[in-house]
């Protein structure tokens, strides 16, 4: 446990930030999963869910939850999955 006052304050701040980071990460995973489900089902509103997934990925990268290259990779793989599903459907 923290001993000095500064360390205690830093610990309190990190606990508060942890809540936001976990929330952002949960949104990221749920939107990504939902988008993958929509792509697999060839749903009509896949473009809107893809947009929401991009938004969640970008916010997570902006806040440092995931790294920039990881965000880019996730977006690329979602777009590729959508492209492949459209090619199979057509």
Half-sphere exposure of 43 (CA within 13 A, CB side): 14
Count of structural domains within the chain: 1
pLDDT tens for 28-60 read 999 999 999 999 998 888 989 999 999 999 999
90, pLDDT greater than 80: no
5: in domain:
no
Q: What mean pLDDT, rounded, does the chain reach?
A: 93
Task: Name the nearest CA neighbour of 20 among 48, 62, 49.
Answer: 62
Q: Using CA atoms, how far apart are residues 18 and 40, in angstroms rounded to an integer?
A: 33
pTM of this structure: 0.86
Domain hosting 66: range is: 27-89
39: in domain:
yes
Task: Map tokens 């939107």 to a residue.
Answer: 31
35: in domain:
yes
21: in domain:
no
SS3 string of 24-48?
Answer: HHHHHHHHHHHHHHHHHHCCCCHHH
């Amino acid at each position: 446990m923290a001993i000095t006052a500064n360390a205690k304050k830093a610990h309190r701040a990190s606990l508060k930030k942890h809540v936001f980071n976990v929330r952002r990460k949960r949104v990221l995973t749920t939107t990504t999963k939902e988008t993958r489900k929509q792509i697999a089902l060839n749903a009509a509103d896949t473009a809107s869910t893809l947009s929401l997934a991009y938004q969640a990925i970008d916010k997570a990268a902006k806040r440092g939850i995931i790294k920039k290259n990881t965000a880019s990779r996730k977006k690329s793989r979602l777009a590729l999955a959508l492209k492949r599903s459209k090619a199979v459907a057509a």
